[in-house]
Structure formats: C-alpha cells, structure tokens
Structure 1
C-alpha cells in the first residue's frame, strides 16, 4: 500500500510548494481536486486539456518529486434538481474523466449526488426513513429516473476511458452506505465503486472493517480516504446521528470529524488496514483532514505519523510456514 493525501488541504499553497511539502513528509501519492466542492486550486481541467505542454508539465511536477496521482477528485452533485447546477457539476465530472485518461490516473472520485423529490424540485431530498410511504415513493423515483440512468451513462464513459469512479459514501447523497453503492454498481457497471471513507461509516453506525469486507469481496473499493470520527456519548442522545448542527459547533455536536488516531486508536486502524489487504486492496490510503481541533499542518502530520505505524507496505511473500 501507499500513503497519500488529498491536496485540497493545501489549496493556499502553489502546486509546487504543496508537492514539496508532501514529499518532505515521506508520502507516496497525491489526490488532487479538479473542481466541484474541492475546487481546482492545483488542477484546472480546462487549462490542462487545452494545452499538451501544460499537461506534460503538470504530470512532471508530480512525478519528479517521487509521487503519483492516486485520484482526481471532483466531489459534486450532478443530480441537483436545479438544472444549471447539475449541468455544471456534470461537466466537471466528464472533463475530469477525460483528464484522468490523459494523465493515466486510475480513479476519479466524486459523490453520487442527490436529486429532488420531483422533476421541478429546487433542492435535493435525502430520504432516511421508510415511512410515511411518501419517502418510499420519492426514493423509487430518484433511483429509477435519476440515479441509475445518470451513473449508467457515466460508468460507460469511464470504462471506455479506462478510468474507475470512486463514489464517496457520504450522508446527504443517494449513495451513502455499502448497500446503496452495491445497488448502483449492479445497475451501472463495475466502473462504479467506492471511495471508502471510514469517518462517514462510523457516524452512521457502520463498522468500517465490515464495510471493507462487504465492498472488498465485491471488488468494489476503488480508493480509500483516511479520516476519523468521534461520537460524543452525551450529545448523540440529544441530537442523534443525523445531527444537523454546524460542524463548527464542536462542543455541542453528536459527532465530529477527527484526524487519524484521535477518534479511534491505532488497533482499530490496524484492523482496517489489515481488512483492506485481506480483500485485495493494495492501492493508496489518502489522508483527508477535517479536524476542527487541529491546524491543517498538525492534523496532517499526526495522521502521517499514526498511519506510518500501521500501513502495510511490502508485497505479500510466500507463506513459508504453510
């Protein structure tokens, strides 16, 4: 396995300065934002696709520092009910797939998106209960009319480009759990897989080790994010896991994102890494920092230090004891 980082953490730095800093920490890979929610501070698809020289220089900037690009990431909502918003996000996803093909990057990460509850809706509608039955009707319409048709098309485009789509299982979007990811994969093809982030599993009550087994046995893990979560034992009883308070209200929230090792100990992270190896995932573990109690530099550095202790780097050898 290789250790990487989502470079959106360092959007305030130039690409070259960010890469120098990342390389100085002993990392192997970078995940780079191309638009959508992560922005495109380090990678403008329009500029790179239009200029072969800029494309070559971009790739050289990464590789000359001993790094690889694990994924291009354009997390967005291409199913947004407001058509102009959906169209902009869809365009970024398509350009990112093309750019990944040109750069020989294996994975494009994004969100599944979430539609509204009817054709003329203004805002996404994320059903989270089976009753009243209205929610079942909404869910059926969303999947049959929006989610499956869109991702079947995008999956086909990605497959032709030799690119895999890593959908992050994230609350608020149609694909947010192992089951919803596998449902879409079955309908839209094997180019669709997960960018599995354990932090979003924990707050939903899902054991990330079991999520790795469920998805990994199906060959459905395309990329992996390293981010932690802590559940507040008092506040969760007041607000539940679907706490709608701002992430900034950390003292009052039911759960919070933390850097690796500050929500769960390294034995838990060792179990996750071992499960990844067990199901055949031997790609990049990409650090994402969203810890409101630590600066970016401190949170990133501690995540690197903690993951270096549990990451399994060397290829498997023969079982001499068998």
Structure 2
C-alpha cells in the first residue's frame, strides 16, 4: 500500500508548494480536487483539457517528485432536483473523468448525489425510515427514476475511458452504506465502487472492518480515505447519530471527525489496514483532514505519523512456514 493525502487541506499553498510539502512528509501519492465541493485550487480540468502543454506540466510536476495521483475528486450532487445546481456538478464530473483518462489516473471520487422526491422538487430528500410508507415510495422512485439511470450512463462513460468511479459512502446521499453501494454497482456495473471512508461508517454505527470485508469481497473498493470519528457517549443520547447541529458546535455534538488515531486507537486502524490487505486492496490510503480540534499542520502530521506505524507497504511474500 501507499500513503497519500487529499490535498484540499492545502488549498492556500500553490500546486508545486503543496507537492513539495507532501513529498517532504514522506508520502507517496496525492488525491487532487477538481471542482464541486473540493474546489479547484490545484487543478482546473477545463484549463488542463484545453492546453496540452499545461497538462504535461501538471503531470510532470507530480511525477518529477516521485509522487503519483491516486484519484481526482469532484464531490458534488449531480442528482440535485434543481438543474442549475445539478448541471455544474455533472459537467465537472464529466470533465474530471476526461482529465483522469488523459492523465492515466484510475479513479474519480465523488458522491452519488441525492434527488428530490418528485420531478418538480426543489430540494434533495434523504429517506432513512421505511415507515410511514411514503418514505419507501420516495426511495423507490429515486432509485428507479434518478439514481440508477444516471449512474448507469456515467459508469459506461467512465469505463469507456478506463476510469473507475469511487463513490464516497456519506450520509445525506443515496449511496451511504455498503448495501446501497452494492445495490448501485449491481445495477450500473463494476466501474462503480467505493471511496471508503471509515469516519462515515462509525457515525452510522457500521464497523469499518466489516465494511471493508463486505465491499472487498465484491471487489468494490476503488479508493480509501483515512479519517477518524469520535462519538460522544453523552451527547449521542441527546441528539442521536443523525445529529443536525453544525460541525462547529463541537462541545454539544453527538459525534465529530478527528485525525487518525484520535477517535480510535492504532489497534483499530491496524485491523482496518489488515482487512484491506486481506481483501486484496493494495492501493493508496489517502489522508483526509477535517479535525476541528487541530490545525491543518498538526492534524495532518499526526495522521501521517500514526498511519506510518500500521501501513502495510511491502508486497505479500510466500508463506514460508506453510
């Protein structure tokens, strides 16, 4: 495996400054934002696709430092019921797939999105209960009319360009659990897989080790994020895991994101890394920093130090003792 970082946390640095910083920290890979929620601080797909010299310079800047691009990421909601919101997310995704194909980057990460509850809806509707029956009817309509048709088309588009789609399992979107990811993958094809982030498993009550096993057995892990979560044992009884308080209200929230090792100890992270190896994942573990209790520098540095202790880097050898 290789250690990388989702570089949006370094948006204040120039592209080459960011690459130098990441290299100096001993990392192997970068995951680069290309628009949508992550922004375009280090990469504008339209600009690079329109200029071969800029595209070459971009690629050379990464490779000359001995780094690789693990994924291009354009998280957004292309299924938003308002076309004025959905279309820019869709266009960014398409351009990102085109750019990934030209760069030889195998994965584009994004969200599945979430539709409204009917054709004239204005806002997404995320059903999370089977009763009253209205919610089940909404869910069925969303998947049959929006989620499956859109991602079937996009999976073919990506597959035709030798690119895989890593959907981050995230609350608020149609694909948010191993089951919903596998449901879409069965309908839309194997280009669809997970950008698996343990932090979103923990707050939903899902064991990330088991999520790795479930998705890994299906060959459905395309990329992996390293981010932690802590659940407050008192506040969760007040607000539940679907706590709607702002992330900034950290003292009262039921759960919050943390840097690797500050929500769960390294034995848990070693179990996650071992599970990834067990199911044959031998790609990049990409650090994502969203810790409200630490600066970017400190949170990132601690995540690097902790993951360096548990990452399995060397290829598998023969079981000499068998």
| TM-score class normalised by the smaller sequence | over 0.9
Which residue does the alignment assign to 1:252? 252
Query: In structure 2, what is the Cα distance between the partners aligned to 1:286 and 1:219?
Result: 19
* Helix, strand or coil at the partner of 1:161: coil
Query: In structure 1, what is the Cα distance between the partners aligned to 2:9 and 2:316?
Result: 32
Query: In structure 2, what is the Cα distance between the partners aligned to 1:165 and 1:247?
Result: 28
Which residue does the alignment assign to 1:300? 300
Which residue does the alignment assign to 1:154? 154
Which residue does the alignment assign to 1:237? 237
- Does residue 41 in structure 1 map to residue 41 in structure 2? yes
Moved over 6 A (4+): none
Q: State TM-score, norm by structure 2.
A: 1.00
- Does residue 170 in structure 1 map to residue 148 in structure 2? no
Which residue does the alignment assign to 1:112? 112
How many angstroms does 1:213 deviate by?
Answer: 0.2
Query: In structure 2, what is the Cα distance between the partners aligned to 1:248 and 1:47?
Result: 35
Which residue does the alignment assign to 1:210? 210
Query: In structure 2, what is the Cα distance between the partners aligned to 1:218 and 1:277?
Result: 14
Query: In structure 2, what is the Cα distance between the partners aligned to 1:11 and 1:107?
Result: 21
Which residue does the alignment assign to 1:142? 142
Query: In structure 1, what is the Cα distance between the partners aligned to 2:88 and 2:140?
Result: 25
How many angstroms does 1:36 deviate by?
Answer: 0.2
How many angstroms does 1:84 deviate by?
Answer: 1.4
Which residue does the alignment assign to 1:6? 6
Query: In structure 1, what is the Cα distance between the partners aligned to 2:225 and 2:192?
Result: 17
How many angstroms does 1:186 deviate by?
Answer: 0.1
Query: In structure 1, what is the Cα distance between the partners aligned to 2:197 and 2:177?
Result: 10
How many angstroms does 1:216 deviate by?
Answer: 0.1
Which residue does the alignment assign to 1:263? 263
Query: In structure 2, what is the Cα distance between the partners aligned to 1:63 and 1:268?
Result: 33
Which residue does the alignment assign to 1:312? 312
Query: In structure 1, what is the Cα distance between the partners aligned to 2:241 and 2:56?
Result: 46
Which residue does the alignment assign to 1:283? 283
How many angstroms does 1:147 deviate by?
Answer: 0.1
Query: In structure 1, what is the Cα distance between the partners aligned to 2:217 and 2:199?
Result: 21
Which residue does the alignment assign to 2:187? 187
Query: In structure 1, what is the Cα distance between the partners aligned to 2:87 and 2:232?
Result: 39
CA-atom RMSD in angstroms = 0.3
Query: In structure 2, what is the Cα distance between the partners aligned to 1:270 and 1:147?
Result: 35
Which residue does the alignment assign to 2:83? 83
Query: In structure 1, what is the Cα distance between the partners aligned to 2:204 and 2:263?
Result: 15
Q: Deviations over 1:226-274 (max 9, x none)?
A: 0000000000000000000000000000000000000000000000000
* Helix, strand or coil at the partner of 1:264: coil
Query: In structure 2, what is the Cα distance between the partners aligned to 1:238 and 1:87?
Result: 38
In structure 2, list runs of 5 or more residues that go unmatched: none
Query: In structure 1, what is the Cα distance between the partners aligned to 2:10 and 2:116?
Result: 33
Q: State TM-score, norm by structure 1.
A: 1.00
Query: In structure 1, what is the Cα distance between the partners aligned to 2:123 and 2:297?
Result: 36
Query: In structure 1, what is the Cα distance between the partners aligned to 2:169 and 2:25?
Result: 28
Residue-pair matches, total: 322
In structure 1, list runs of 5 or more residues that go unmatched: none
Which residue does the alignment assign to 1:131? 131
Which residue does the alignment assign to 1:23? 23
How many angstroms does 1:106 deviate by?
Answer: 0.5
